Amino acid sequence: MSGRGRPYRTVRLQGFEVLVGRGDAENDRLTFEVADPDDFWLHVSGSAGSHVVIRNPDGLSELPSDVLEAAAQLAGWYSKSRHARRVEVHVCQARNVSKPRGFAPGKVLLSCWWALRVQPQRLDSDDADAETG
C-alpha cells in the first residue's frame, strides 16, 4: 500500500475503496474531512491504531460481510494489538463518530456502533483488488 502525502493508505476490496489512517492527526483528517457520512468507519476497541474507512458512495445500509471482515482485519493489523490472537473492532457509519472539544488527536466518541472479532492481518495481493495510493 502506498499513498505518500495523503493522510491514509488506500486498498480496494471487491470494488470498495478502503482508506487506512497513518497516525493520530491523520486519523482525524481521514475521519472528519475525507470520510462521507454514509461511509463505514472501523477502529480496534481499546487500542491505539489506525482509523479505517470503507467508502460507501451508493449509501448501502450494509456491506458484504467479507469486505467488512477484511477491513476489520486491516484495522487490527494497523493497531498496537497487531500481535493479538483476536481483536474487537468497532464499526459504525462515519456520521456516528464525533470529536468532543479538547479530545486528543485520534481520539473520538461513537454514538452508535457494533463490533466484529477478527484476527489482525495484512491483506495479501490475492485478497485485494489492485492496491492504489
Q: Please spell the DSSP secondary structure of 58-101, one letter per residue.
A: T--SS--HHHHHHHHHHHHHTBTTTTSS-EEEEEEEGGGEE--T
Q: What is the pLDDT of residues 19-40, one digit of tens each?
A: 999 999 999 999 999 999 999 9
Q: Residue 14's domain spans which residues? A: 8-118
| pTM score | 0.89
- In this prediction, residue 2 carries a pLDDT of 44
In a domain, 99, yes or no: yes
Specify the number of domains making up the chain: 1
In a domain, 17, yes or no: yes
In a domain, 38, yes or no: yes
Q: What is the pLDDT of residues 105-128, one digit of tens each?
A: 999 999 999 999 999 999 865 455
- In this prediction, residue 83 carries a pLDDT of 95
